[in-house]
Structure 1
Amino acid sequence: MKIESQDKRVDELLKGNIFLIPRFQREYSWEPDHVSEFWDDIMDNMTEPYFIGAMVVYKIERSTLAVVDGQQRLTTITILLCAMREAFKKLGRPELADGLQAYIEQKDRENKTVYVLKTESSFPFLQEEILKSDDAEVPFEIGREEEAIKKAYNIFKERIGQNLAEYLSNKEQTAEDNSKDAADWLSMLRDTVFDLNLILVTLDNEDDAYLIFETLNTRGKDLALADLLRNHFAKLIKAASEVDQVKQKWGKVHDTIKSSPVQLDPDTFIVHSWQSRYDFATKAKVFHKVKDTVNKKNAKSHLNRFVSDAEQWRSIFDTDYLWSKSEKEASRSLAALRTFKVVQPAPGILSLVRAYRDKQIKYRALRNALSNIEKFHFSFNAITSSRSSGGISGMYSSFGRSIFETTDSSGAAQAIAELVGKLRDREVPDIEFDAGFQQVIYTSKHSSQKALVQYILKKVAIHEGQPFRGDTEDLTIEHLLPQSSSKNDEDHETIGQIGNLVLVDSKTNEKLSTNDFKEKKLILKEHGYKLPEILENAEALTPEVILANTKRISELARTIIWKI
């Protein structure tokens, strides 16, 4: 491998070179914070040499270089130059604007105008709206990458505009002098950007680029696991025509996950997808596992599997995605796991959902398996906050592989039965469950468990045949012994217990208000609500009665409602 390195200023870098963003590179993704930080660095080093790191490229043609590392910085600098160009125009200095444009576009050997920065992913927005000095002529759409570019461009224009406004508003001198001072400052900013220093590392060919790209980023400094994986697929699956399979399919994976209203991480998806099919591996080791397994012969099939898995994996966390009304019980179990903040079952659940969507198992088998997983993690995580010795994640990964490898429904049924047996063996002791259940509270001062409390009350009410009025999603939590009666934290812990809480519709809740216990019982009865015997027979709602009702519900929970 031949590697050349040179110290370069930005102006030297841009003159006489065309920079292509290769297919394995990610989209422009700098957030406004990154752009603002870059601007602040320039301002802090105005007129001073400033080193911005290394840039790695490989040769395509004599003057065309493909960018391996440094794409984000190069794109940001180019956007900044375009913002300065527009500012020179507003100052009435077209010659200085044209001077800047000479670093943004140039003439090739056939005297055709080409942009110094060539990218396919943001075409034609970047070219027409940003790089072009004249008005846009080609229609374009605004996507995720275009939004990031537009935000960066607007930040630079705003910051430049703020600085120029200070010069132009000076009342102590003439407008002509103000305009000259503004142009001088903008020229100084231009020269500062052109004088930014970097090390240009040049490779001979694309194969070396893939290796350097991977080596530079395996440490996780710049790129995520998803970017490394895309690079690996791009290396193995060459574009045979104008249609770039890797770009399109990996883009679909990314869009499926990132478009979810629930915040999801593509790297976590890759780990779970891999664990559900092959072996248990941590995030740090998954890429090496993929490299050892995915080769030129099987790369396409592996890529297709990631594409299909992305939708199923998203539906595990985004329970409004892909699930129909007839599948609401399954989606409710998945929503419950989100309430418990549990992700360990994801690889196993991914294999279950995949088998269901592939018609390998029936909905009943999926529903029952998810229900048992929900019941286990309700006790293990939500109630007792038990810590696994490390076997839980491995258990679900192993289960996922068993489902993936099975060839018929009977094999899947056996794998599910074995998982349920393992979950049952890990059930928490009754005494730990009851102690944890009493610690689940909800008050205005202790609201972190509100979603869990709503979940518990709804499950208990459904089991006891509570005749809900209205939409169950609109029910509110009512404290039978009102929060206003609390005098200290100990009172809040009693008042917030499950035994003092009921779910009611909003209209009933308004009538209950802060009435005493006897009046609340009458109002609840009038509105069709049923109270358990322990509350029905109580003359007053004392801490002892609340605790007794909490213990009653706890026993009901562990022996019936959430019993595996």
Structure 2
Amino acid sequence: MKIESQDKRIDELLKGNIFLIPRFQREYSWEPDHITAFWFDIIENMAEPYFIGAMVVYKVERSTLAVVDGQQRLTTITILLCAIREAFKDIGRPDLAEGLQAYIEQKDRENKTVYILKTESSFPFLQEEILKSDAAEVPFNIGREEEAIQKAYEIFKSNIAEEVSGYLENKEQTADDNQNDAIAWLSKLRDTVFDLNLILVTLDNEDDAYLIFETLNTRGKDLALADLLRNHFAKLIRPASEVDQVKEKWSKVHDTIKSSPVQLDADTFIVHSWQSRYDFVTKAKAFQKVKDRVNKKNAKSHLDRFVSDAEQWRSIFDTEYLWTKSEKEAARSLKALRTFKVVQPAPGILSLVRAYRDKVIKYKTLRNALSNIEKFHFAFNAVTSSRSSGGISGMYSSFGRQIFDCSNSREAANIIAGLVSKLQEREVSGSEFDAGFEQVIFTNKHSSQKALVQYILRKVAIFESQPFIGETDDLTIEHLLPQSSSKSDEDHLVLGQIGNLILVDQKTNEMLSTNNFKEKKGILESRGYKLPELFEGVEKLNEEVIRENTQRISNLAREEIWKV
């Protein structure tokens, strides 16, 4: 492997070179905080040498270099230069703008304009809207990457305009002097950017670039697991036509996950997908595991599996995605797990959903399996906040791999039965459950568990055949003993207990208002709501009755509703 290393200034780097952003590079992703930090670094080092790190490239053809490492910095610097160019034009110095533009675009041998940055993902937006000095002529679409580029451009232009206006509005001297000072500052800013120093590492070919790319980014934190994996697939699957399989398919994985209204992480998806099929791995060691198993012969099938898994995995957390009305019970179990903030079952659930979508198991089998997982984690996580030593994550990963390997519904049913047995073995004790259940509360002062409380009340109401008025998801939580009766924070710990709460429709909620318990009882009964037998003959609700009702519901929850 031949590696050349040179110290370069930005102006030396840009003059005479074209930089290609290869397909395995991630999209431009600097956020406003990164842009602002970079801006202040430039301002604080005006007219002084400033080192910005290394940039790794490989030779594509004469004067064209493909960027392996440093794309984000190079793109940001180019955007900043374009913003300075526009400021020169705004202040009446088109000659200086043209001089700067000579570093942003060049003429090739056929006298055609060639921009210094050639990108695939943001083309033609970057070239037409930012790099081009004149008005855009080619239509383009705006995606996430284009939005990030546009935001960076706007931040730089705004910061420059603010500085320039400070010079132009100086009332201590003439307008001509102000103009000259503003131009001098802009020129100084331009020169500071041109004088930025870096180390340019040049390789001879793409294969060496993949190796360096991988080595650089597995040693540091520059790249996410998803970026490294995309690079690995790009190395193994070379384009056989104009359609780049890796780019298109990995973009689909990325878009599936990132377009979810629920915040999801691509790296976590990769770990869960891999755990559900092959090994129980941590995020830190996942890439090496994938790299060891995925080779040129099987790369395409693995890539296709990641594409299909991305949709199934998203549907575990985004329960509005892919699930139909006839599958609402499965979606509700998944939504409940989100309410519990539980992620350990994800690899196992992914295999279950995959088996269902692949028609290995029927919906009833999927629904029942998810229901048991939901019941277990309600007690283990939502109510008692029990901690696992890591065995539960390993158990679900092992379960997922077994489901992935099975070939028929009977085999899958046996594996699921084995999981249910393991969940039953880990069941929390009755006393531990009851103590935790009493701590699940909701009041205006203690609202962090509101979603969990709504979930519990809905399940209990359905189990007790509460005659709902309206849709159950639109019901509100009513305190039978009003919160206004509280005299201290300790009172809220009782008033907020499940034993003092009921779900009611909006109209009934308005009728109940802050009435006393006897009045509320009459209104609820007139509206068709059923109250527990425990409340018969009770005209004044107190702490003792509330705690007794909480315990009653806890017993019901533990022994019947959420019994695995």
TM value normalised by structure 1: 0.99
> Shift of residue 174 of structure 1?
2.8
Alignment deviations for residues 414-435 of structure 1 (CA, whole Å, 9 cap, x no partner):
1111111111111111111111
Partner of 1:318: 318
| 1:384-436 C-alpha deviation (Å, 9 max, x unpaired) | 11111211011111111111101111111111111111111111111111111
In structure 2, the residue matched to 1:58 is: 58
Question: Which residue matches 1:135?
Answer: 135
Structure 2 residue matching 1:218: 3-state secondary structure? helix
Query: Shift of residue 462 of structure 1?
Result: 0.6
* Structure 1 position 7, deviation (Å): 1.1
* Structure 2 match to 1:267: 267
Aligned residue in 1 for 2:454: 454
Q: Which amino acid is the alignment partner of residue 344 of structure 1?
A: Q
- State the Cα distance separating 1:334 from its structure 2 match: 0.2
Moved more, 310-319 or 169-178: 169-178
SS in 1 for 2:200: strand
Deviation of the 1:304 alpha carbon? 0.3
Helix, strand or coil: the match of 1:145? helix
What SS does the corresponding residue of 2:5 show, helix, strand or coil? strand
Structure 1 distance, partners of 2:176, 2:124, is: 38
Q: CA deviation at 1:215?
A: 0.9
> Per the alignment, in what secondary structure is the counterpart of residue 61 of structure 2?
coil
CA deviations 1:453-499 (Å, max 9, x no partner) are: 00000000011111111121221111111112112222111111110
**What are the superposed Cα offsets for residues 15-44 of structure 1, whole Å, 9 maximum, x if unpaired?**
111111111100000011111111111111
Corresponding position of 1:22: 22
Q: Please tell me the residue identity of whatever aligns with 2:122.
A: S
Q: How many angstroms apart in 2 are the aligned matches of 1:90 and 1:34?
A: 26
Aligned to 2:549: 549
* Cα distance in 1 between the residues matched to 2:331 and 2:553: 25
- Per-residue CA deviation, residues 223-267 of structure 1 (Å, 9 max, x unaligned), is 100000000000000111111110000000000000000000000
1:93 maps to which residue? 93
Structure-2 residue corresponding to 1:7: 7
Cα deviations by residue, 1:276-310 (Å, 9 ceiling, x for unpaired): 11111111111000010000000000000000000
Which residue number in structure 1 is paired with residue 348 of structure 2? Answer: 348
2: CA distance, partners of 1:399 / 1:68: 39
Q: Counterpart in 2 of 1:251?
A: 251
Partner SS, residue 361 of structure 1 = coil
Report deviation, 1:552.
0.1
SS in structure 1 opposite 2:4?
Answer: strand
Aligned pairs, number: 564
Equivalent positions of 1:419-458 (< 5 A) are 419-458=419-458
AA in 1 matched with 2:358 = D
**Distance (Å, rounded) in 1 between the aligned partners of 2:83 and 2:141:** 21
Q: Match for residue 215 of structure 1?
A: 215
Match of 1:36 in 2: 36
C-alpha displacement at 1:560, in angstroms? 0.5
1:63 deviates by 1.2
Residue 289 of structure 1 corresponds to which residue in structure 2? 289
For residues 156 and 311 of structure 1, what CA distance do their matches in structure 2 show?
38
Q: Tell me the secondary structure at the aligned position of residue 47 of structure 2.
A: coil
Equivalent position SS for 1:502: strand
1:360 paired residue number = 360
Write the letter of the residue equivalent to 1:469: I
Correspondence for 1:121: 121
Task: Tell me the SS of whatever aligns to 1:60.
Answer: strand
Query: Which amino acid in the other structure matches residue 518 of structure 2?
Result: K
- Read off the aligned partner of 1:239 and give its amino acid letter: P
Look up the match of 1:231: 231
- How far off its partner does 1:50 sit? 1.1
User: What's the CA shift for 1:175?
Assistant: 2.5
- The aligned residue for residue 49 of structure 1 is 49
Per mean C-alpha deviation after superposition, the further-off stretch among 119-128 and 171-180 is 171-180
Letter in 1 for 2:202: T
SS in 2 for 1:277: coil
Residue identity opposite 1:392 in structure 2? I
Q: Which amino acid aligns with 2:361?
A: I
Return the offset for 1:219: 3.1
* Counterpart residue identity of residue 103, structure 1: Y
Q: Secondary structure at the match of 2:85?
A: helix
The alpha-carbon deviation at position 137 of structure 1 amounts to: 1.1
SS of the residue 1:529 aligns to: coil
What is the alpha-carbon distance in structure 1 between the residues aligned to residue 77 and residue 535 of structure 2?
Answer: 70
Q: Distance in 2 between matches of 1:537 and 1:226?
A: 63
Q: What amino acid sits opposite 1:543 in the alignment?
A: E
Distance 1:150 1:408 in 2: 52
What is the SS of the residue equivalent to 1:55? strand
Deviations 1:169-205, CA, capped at 9 Å, x for gaps: 2233332222222111111100010011111111121
Letter of the 1:222 counterpart: D
| Corresponding residue of 1:162 | 162
1:502 and 2:497 aligned: no
Distance 1:70 1:218 in 2: 15
Aligned residue type for 1:32: P
Q: What is the SS of the residue equivalent to 2:458?
A: helix
Q: Secondary structure at the match of 1:333?
A: helix
Q: Deviations over 1:115-152 (max 9, x none)?
A: 11111111111111111111111111101111111111
Letter in 1 for 2:426: R
Residue aligning to 2:171:
171
Aligned AA (2:461): A
Whole-Å separation in 1 of the counterparts to 2:156 and 2:452:
45
**3-state SS, counterpart of residue 507 of structure 1:** helix
Q: What SS does the aligned partner of 2:240 have?
A: coil
Q: Mean alpha-carbon deviation: is it higher for 104-113 or for 73-82?
A: 104-113
AA in 2 matched with 1:395: M
How do 1:513-528 and structure 2 match up within 5 A? 513-528=513-528
Unaligned runs of 5+ in 2: none
CA deviation after TM superposition for structure 1 residue 168, in Å: 1.6
CA spacing shift, 1:220–1:274, aligned 2, 3 Å:
farther
Write the letter of the residue equivalent to 2:315: S
Specify every segment of 5 or more residues in structure 1 that has no aligned partner in the other structure, as ranges.
Answer: none
**Secondary structure of the equivalent of 1:539?**
coil
TM-score by length of 2: 0.99
Rounded to whole Å, the distance in 1 between the matches of 2:48 and 2:467 is 74
* Separation in structure 2 between the aligned mates of residue 279 and residue 538 of structure 1, nearest angstrom: 58
Query: What is the rounded CA distance, in whole Å, between the counterparts of 1:118 and 1:431 in structure 2?
Result: 66
Aligned residue for 2:470?
Answer: 470
**Worse-matched range after superposition: 319-328 or 159-168:** 159-168
Q: Counterpart amino acid of 1:246?
A: V
2:26 partner SS: coil
Distance 1:193 1:272 in 2: 43
- State how far apart, in whole Å, the 2-side matches of 1:57 and 1:2 are: 12
Residue in 2 that maps onto 1:376 = 376
| Deviation for aligned residue 1:220 | 4.4
Aligned equivalents of 2:109, 2:284: Cα separation in 1: 47
Cα separation, 2, equivalents of 1:364 and 1:537: 43
Displacement, 1:539? 2.8
Structure 2 distance, partners of 1:219, 1:309, is 28
Q: Compute the RMSD of aligned alpha carbons.
A: 1.0
Residue aligned with 2:502, SS: strand
